[in-house]
Structure 1
Amino acid sequence: MGGKYRITGDTYPRMRRPRHRRRLVLAGIGAVVVLGLVGWGTLQLIDVFTGGDKSASAADRRNCPTAKPSVAPAKALPKPAAIKVNVYNATTRTGLAKSAAEELKKRGFTIGEVGNATKEYDKKVPGTGVLLGAPAAKNTSFTVLGTQLVGTVQKTDTRKTGEVDLILGAKFKAFSTPKEATAAMTALTKPAPAPSPSC
């Protein structure tokens, strides 16, 4: 054989099959795998953002009880006449306890002792006042009396009686207006809607 294909010595031209077909097959398989992964990921994202299986959610809605408007029972608070209030003055203003007791009496409270505060509280109440009573008064008598005077501090002691001490402080100026006190009491006793079941 002549020309460039002429055989000389023991050197032979290398004849190989073209590898283009194998590369095309591998590229095609890779493309299919990538497209499959992208499609699967897209389906997962759609499932997350649309809330999952629609048939399951429809079944849950069928099994969920219909929400009915219901109200929670109102708090059982005592009437003002059932609350005995001792009024004490912890300020330097004279006659403050007497005038405050008269106003509370007009509003229906039962008045007990009226006078100056003890040394423990005398001139030591910087706010509007302190409500002092037995632990049982925290969610009963304190709540009702607190509607008459905003900003009072509640404290308990070891007394066994149901009476409550109102110790007037330096920032006391006046009780809430009857309208404000009534509105506050209504808000406390008004039944609150019970939460509806979540499905």
Structure 2
Amino acid sequence: MSMLTPPGMGGKYRITGDVYPRMRRPHRRRRIILASTAAAVVLGAAGWGTYQLVDVFSGGGGTKTAAGKQADCKPAPTATAAPAAVLPKPAQITVNVYNATPRSGLAKTTADELRKRGFKIGKVGNAPAAYDKKVTGAGLLLGAPAATKGSFPVLGTQLAGATAKTDARGTADVDLIIGTAFKSLAPKTTADAALVALTRPAPAPVKKC
């Protein structure tokens, strides 16, 4: 027996001088790695389950995108109406009323009603030869180009179906030429509501999450 051989050891553990036994430790490192991995899996599953419970009892946590991530939901701004165009009031509009139909008296009765509704009345009579019995619609609004963004929209609330046309006049008055399809002005309540909607547009809808 070699002097390097510990007492009590022999056989395959006998050291002869050129061969040494390999004393391997138990595979503790592998066990530690496996145990750590298993613990991480258990903790992950427990955390996911807790998240699901919180999500259910809190009402779903809001809107989610297609990728499953929660979408940002910012408070919607207060709805405000778009600024309305500055339009003249009926009292600031001078209307000339002309009758282009074979029916007599339409110009006067229409002018009287427009006066009651606040419009200033200019000339009243039969339509000029260029338009006499040639206006097939309910009526024709005739005025300077500037009237298209001022007097025409306001006066148009009083007569549904009226068309508009501009000419080269240099004055601010407008003509209402009554056409053959004319029956009557719009009811006052309807005209008033149309005028309010024209000057006070409804606010834009509020976007909800």
CA distance in 2, matches of 1:174, 1:69: 38
CA distance in 1, matches of 2:207, 2:144: 38
Deviation string 1:19-40 (CA, Å, 9 cap, x unpaired) is: xxxxxxxxxxxxxxxxxxxxxx
TM-score by length of 1: 0.66
Identical pairs, percent = 57
Count, aligned residues? 146
- Offset of residue 195 of structure 1: 6.1
SS at match of 1:112: strand
CA distance in 1, matches of 2:150, 2:125: 24
Unpaired segments ≥5 residues, structure 2 = 1-63
Q: Which residue of 1 aligns with 2:140?
A: 130
- Offset of residue 190 of structure 1: 2.1
- Determine if contact 1:74/1:192 at 8 Å carries over to the other structure: no
Task: From the CA coordinates, give the structure whose radius of gyration is larger.
Answer: 2
Q: 1:153 aligns with which of 147, 157, 163?
A: 163
Considering Cα pairs closer than 8 Å and 6+ residues apart, tell me whether 1 or 2 has the greater RCO. Answer: 1
Q: Which residue of 1 aligns with 2:79?
A: 69
Q: 1:188 aligns with which of 193, 198, 206?
A: 198
- Determine if contact 2:94/2:120 at 8 Å carries over to the other structure: yes
Alpha-carbon spacing, 1:66–1:184, altered in 2? closer, same or farther (3 Å): closer
- Offset of residue 107 of structure 1: 1.1
Alpha-carbon spacing, 1:177–1:196, altered in 2? closer, same or farther (3 Å): closer
- Offset of residue 184 of structure 1: 1.0
Q: Which residue of 2 aligns with 1:116?
A: 126
Q: 2:100 aligns with which of 79, 90, 94?
A: 90
CA distance in 2, matches of 1:65, 1:121: 57
Q: Which residue of 1 aligns with 2:8?
A: none
- Offset of residue 139 of structure 1: 2.4
- Determine if contact 1:73/1:192 at 8 Å carries over to the other structure: no
- Offset of residue 158 of structure 1: 1.4
TM-score by length of 2: 0.63
CA distance in 2, matches of 1:123, 1:152: 15
CA distance in 2, matches of 1:66, 1:81: 40
Dislocated runs of 4+, deviation >6 Å: none
- Offset of residue 73 of structure 1: 1.6
- Offset of residue 198 of structure 1: 10
CA distance in 1, matches of 2:97, 2:182: 13
Structure 1 residue 174 corresponds to structure 2 residue 184: yes
- Determine if contact 1:126/1:170 at 8 Å carries over to the other structure: yes
SS at match of 2:149: coil
The one-letter amino acid paired with 1:101 is A
CA distance in 2, matches of 1:196, 1:52: 24
CA distance in 1, matches of 2:208, 2:171: 44
More helix by share: 1
CA distance in 1, matches of 2:201, 2:125: 38
Unpaired segments ≥5 residues, structure 1 = 1-49
